Amino acid sequence: MKNKIDSLIKEVEVFVAKSSDDIEKFRINFLGKRGIIPLLFQDFKNISVDSRKEIGQKINALKSLIEEKISQEKKKLFQTESTIDDKDLSLPGDDLKLGSRHPISLVRNEIIEIFKRLGFVISEGPEIENDDHVFSKLNFSPEHPARDMQDTFFVERQSAFSSHTDDILLRTHTSSVQVRVMENQKPPIRTISPGRVFRNEAISARAHCIFHQIEGLYIDSNVSFADLKQTLLYFSKEMFGEETKIRLRPSFFPFTEPSAEMDVSCKICNGKGCNVCKYTGWLEVLGCGMVDPNVLENCNIDSSAYTGFAFGMGVERIAMLKYQINDLRMYFENDVRFLEQFTNSLF
């Protein structure tokens, strides 16, 4: 038995743990219920009286050696696991990665800043609207195709036989905010309304069911088409560069009379014609016109005392022209390789 204990002492002395699992196994092997030490104490009962004292001391020494070993190995392991000693705490930390603004926010903010310089203030309206603000008060006739399910997302649609004006829908344009502003404010009014709009479109490179618009409205006595042209020329030069030219083409919108669409000269080819402007030298940017007197009256503004102009533009469209983005879906996919390209932008 003496020899057995001596060889166990050697075994304990050379033990090195590589993991806390090793220590646990070691502990169970020696000190567990059916481990070596309890077995030794069992055998101890059968030992002759004269060697009892010596063997007893030996077993106790082995037991404390094991306990000491366990705590030693635990300490060693803790130090290597936390590796704190290997780290150079004087090294500078990793750079904080800065995010970037989304191109839509950048362009929206830039447009807002330009119009603020002309004295326009921001107004906002709800995305879930009623027919009155999106269509009826903007002079859309009851059978206008824009009211159709194919274009508009309805939240609550009244029966086809009742009046459309009770319909609840997602606004299809920010022109609805014009109506809300005119209903609640007296002229002079000079406001722009940025916001999200919704249309029931199949998603493609050129169309999306959610996009952003900025609406402009200016109402006062003696506001003329010349004021509209000058405002839009100023905006275009600020947005696309001093040498930018604009042209207005006759168009139709229910809420403006006369109505026009505005093009800016193509910056890529300086109006000579290229594949971006489809060899026309011009890029379509926005819709505009003089506020129809019916719209003024619908919003309780005296159309014999006041005139006004309005315009509306798509933020995605302006951003596409500014940054040469040719697929609308890029704005919504949030691919960091796309978004990271805007880290250095100002707004």
For ligand DAH, the closer of residues 239 and 262 by Cβ is: 262
**Strand 121-122, strand 246-253: pairing:** unpaired
Rounded least distance, CB 120 to ligand DAH, Å: 13
Of 12, 181, 266, 310, which one interacts with ligand DAH (CB under 6 A)? 310
Of 140, 235, 253, 331, which one interacts with ligand DAH (CB under 6 A)? 253
**Hey, what are 268's tokens?**
């890529």
240, 313 contact by CB (below 8 A): no
179 binds ligand DAH per the rule CB under 6 A: no
Rounded least distance, CB 250 to ligand DAH, Å: 12
Which positions from 256 through 275 interact with ligand DAH, judged by CB under 6 A?
256
321 binds ligand DAH per the rule CB under 6 A: no
For ligand DAH, the closer of residues 22 and 151 by Cβ is: 151
284 phi, psi to nearest 5 deg:
-75, 130
**Hey, what are 38's tokens?**
């309890």
Of 30, 311, 331, 342, which one interacts with ligand DAH (CB under 6 A)? 311
Question: Which single residue is written with the structure tokens 């004292």?
Answer: 53
194 binds ligand DAH per the rule CB under 6 A: no
Rounded least distance, CB 254 to ligand DAH, Å: 9
Query: How far is Cα 179 from Cα 139, in angstroms, rounded to an integer?
Result: 11
What DSSP letter does each residue of 23-89 carry, written as one string? HHHHHHHHHSTTSHHHHHHHHHTTS-HHHHHHHHHHHHHHHHHHHHHHHHHHHHHHHHHH-GGGS-T
Options 10-18, 55-63, 307-315, 332-340: segment touching ligand DAH (CB under 6 A): 307-315
For ligand DAH, the closer of residues 112 and 339 by Cβ is: 112
Question: Which single residue is written with the structure tokens 């302006």?
Answer: 318
Of 110, 131, 132, 215, which one interacts with ligand DAH (CB under 6 A)? 215
Q: Which helix H or strand E contains 176, and what residues bound it?
A: helix 175-184
235 binds ligand DAH per the rule CB under 6 A: no
312 binds ligand DAH per the rule CB under 6 A: yes
Query: How far is Cα 36 from Cα 271, in angstroms, rounded to an integer?
Result: 94
Please give the C-alpha separations between residue 199 and each of 103, 170, 175, 209, 262, in angstroms, as whole numbers.
21, 8, 14, 5, 22
Rounded least distance, CB 243 to ligand DAH, Å: 26
288 binds ligand DAH per the rule CB under 6 A: yes
The residues that touch ligand DAH, with contacts defined as CB under 6 A, are 173, 175, 215, 253, 256, 287-289, 310-312
